[in-house]
Amino acid sequence: MARLERLGAELAARYGYRPIETPMFEQTAVFERGIGEVTDVVEKELFRIAPRSEDGESWALRPEPTAGIVRAYVQHGMQTWPQPVKLTMTGPMFRYDRPQAGRYRQFSQFDVEAIGDAGPAIDAEIIELAARFYRDAGLAAIDLQLNSIGDATCRPAYLEGLRAYYRSKIDGLPSVERARLERSPLRLLDSKEPAMEAVNADAPRITDFLCTACAAHFAGVRAHLDAVGVPYRLEPRLVRGLDYYTRTAFEVYPRGAAGQQSAIGGGGRYDGLVELLGGRPTPGIGFGLGLDRTLLALEAAGAAETPEMHALAVVVGADPAATADRLRVATELRASGLAARADLANRKLGRQLEAAAKEGAHFAVILGDELADGQVQLRDLQAGTQQVVPAADLVRHLTRAGDSHRHG
């Protein structure tokens, strides 16, 4: 996880995104207005914080970072900065749900947002950044799905078409979907209900309804993606689960997997969100990549790396009570940049060595009588060899031995 977090931060910096930290909780209205009231995330998955006082304020843990980042953009006058403002954040998100494989109540996202650029070139740049993240993480086989979900001009006609279609199928709809049909028919397309799969297979496609401007924008996104050589698959029923999206929408799956549960990342354009949260009309686009699910996909592909550990040296001693000597030597090794710990338990040398071996330490530095002559025993626990070295040369010996370990 730490490796993926570092990778995201490095990539974002290389693409010119600056880090932002928003609070882990916001006024509930930020999420209700931003993400939309008729969404799973707000209806079912919001972790609401019980109010403490009569001040009437309502707070919730962040289920995603975009609404909070856009709130900060408006509140802190970032509209006066040179546009687009490119921001990145990695951190924990919270969604109340039944925990299951790949679906957690606390999970981590690598997020980027570019606010103030209408695209379409930046759309392709952001999608390319997402694709590069997975490639650099070691996940070669991804399925990048792309769609345009139109805007306020063309979406109403599409929604009407969709409502009419679902009304004609009303008897086959699960009750939760029936209740949402009139207010938020897009959510039905995005439904996790198994019964909806067959119904949705014949639903009208948004791409048949796009207005001229949205169609031109979508063509521009595809042309730019082709120019930078990012493979993608058009998926006309991809709508995303949050209400703020306009035009470009994309999701990433591990290749071969399907279904809602397994999206390892997603994003899109949200040209109405800044205005919705109180700012001037300003376009924006971003993505959130799920780090927990990326890790699961890497494990499934056999590509998860075990973290590279430093060769650990444990400083042990013949005199159990001489903890000050052991602590001093370990402190010196650490000050020289080596990984070391002292055995500070008042126990026999044999037990100290046993503990070091159990821990998988590479070296034991043994302090004995020869310390009076400025010498220590250096035991290579993995090779099973031991030599006497001057204490003053210990750092050099350990560094050389550690290097030859690493390189075989």
The residues binding ligand HAM (CB under 6 A) are: 64-66, 95, 97, 102-104, 107, 109, 111, 113, 241-242, 263-268, 270, 286-288, 290, 292-293
Give the residue among 207, 208, 209 at the shortest CA–CA distance from 221.
Answer: 207
Least distance CB 125 / ligand HAM (angstroms) = 14
DSSP per-residue codes, 232-257: -EE-TT---SSTT-EEEEEEEEETT-
Nearer to ligand HAM among residue 266 and residue 317 (C-beta): 266
Least distance CB 11 / ligand HAM (angstroms) = 15
Give the residue among 376, 330, 320 at the shortest CA–CA distance from 350.
Answer: 320
Looking at residue 51, what DSSP letter applies?
A: P
Least distance CB 12 / ligand HAM (angstroms) = 13
Residue 56 gets the label, from left (phi > 0), alpha (psi -120 to 50) or beta, of left
Q: How far apart are CA 167 and CA 161, in angstroms?
A: 10
Q: How far apart are CA 158 and CA 152, in angstroms?
A: 10
Least distance CB 77 / ligand HAM (angstroms) = 21
Nearer to ligand HAM among residue 242 and residue 277 (C-beta): 242
Nearer to ligand HAM among residue 180 and residue 293 (C-beta): 293
Q: How far apart are CA 19 and CA 99, in angstroms?
A: 30
Q: How far apart are CA 100 and CA 105, in angstroms?
A: 9
> Judging by beta carbons within 10 Å of its beta carbon (0-12, 13-18, 19+), is residue 284 exposed, middle or buried?
buried
Least distance CB 245 / ligand HAM (angstroms) = 7
Nearest-CB residue for ligand HAM:
290
Least distance CB 293 / ligand HAM (angstroms) = 4
Least distance CB 98 / ligand HAM (angstroms) = 10
Residue 334, amino acid:
R
Nearer to ligand HAM among residue 264 and residue 371 (C-beta): 264
Q: How far apart are CA 252 and CA 241, in angstroms?
A: 14
Nearer to ligand HAM among residue 297 and residue 398 (C-beta): 297
Nearer to ligand HAM among residue 93 and residue 313 (C-beta): 93
Greatest CA span in the chain, whole angstroms? 93
Nearer to ligand HAM among residue 101 and residue 392 (C-beta): 101
